[in-house]
Amino acid sequence: GGSSGIGAATALELARCGARVILATRSARRGEAAASRIRRETGNNEVLFMHLDLASLRSVRAFASTFLRQEPQLHLLINNAGVSAGGTTEDGFSLPFQVNHLGHFLLTQLLLERLRSCAPSRVVIVASSAHCAGRLRPEALGRPPSGLFSTFQDYCDSKLANVLHARELATREQGTQVTCYAVHPGFVNTSLFRHAPLWLQPLLLPLAWLLFLDAAEGARAVLDCATRDGLEPLSGRYFTHGGPRVPWPAGRDDRLARELWEGSERLVGL
């Protein structure tokens, strides 16, 4: 998710710090353009594009295979890409749930051994305060919710999954020096809501321009979790611009976190 918005702003700052940065994005045109722009602005030629479509588990596996073959080092994985609404993926899952959670879950699992071998390493999952309205049902994972506000509910469910994914990953990786953080970047004016229903867009777009942060401001909380020294004891926690925060009760449910993990493994075929 590094071709625009928070992801591009995050990649730009990491490149400025001298990191080798892989932009894993769905659009080759936008991904190549973003990588070229970042190389030009920073003078860092170690910024590359690789194709990844999180709406396709086949694409996730292909990306991971190519990455592991070409890149011997991985110290930081930022799961940033997201959509707010949509239909059904080629794998038969709700688009927001697969792009925002399942695709990232599979990607993280496929790259986990490399993260361990390069430790200390970090996984940063871009979540949202919208997790407050999430209602995950383990027996119905990946299925679009029903009801009048199903689009909004689907997005909130995926963001709750982000918070719980970070929590359970941190639990399972204790002792490996792989740490994980879920972060709410604030309300940011990005293309996240490009899949929102047409009737809702006239309301969202003016609000985005008037009230939301710009992408560079939104990237600060993500970069903080990615680069700040001494965060290791806070692995699994939920962060905002103000630092670690207590998530809403569902985001602290360890039983639900385990059930989500086990259900996600089944859905992606692990």
Structure tokens given for 180: 């994980």
In the chain, DSSP assigns E strands to 21-25, 47-51, 76-79, 121-126, 178-183, 238-240, 243-245
**Interatomic CA distance for residues 111 and 183, integer angstroms:** 20
Nearest CA among 243, 218, 260 for reference residue 82: 218
Catalytic residue positions, numbered? 155
**Interatomic CA distance for residues 217 and 247, integer angstroms:** 21
**Interatomic CA distance for residues 100 and 104, integer angstroms:** 7
- Angle among Cα 81, 71, 174 to the nearest 5 degrees reads 70
For 190: left if phi > 0, alpha if psi spans -120 to 50, otherwise beta; the answer is beta
**Interatomic CA distance for residues 53 and 74, integer angstroms:** 20
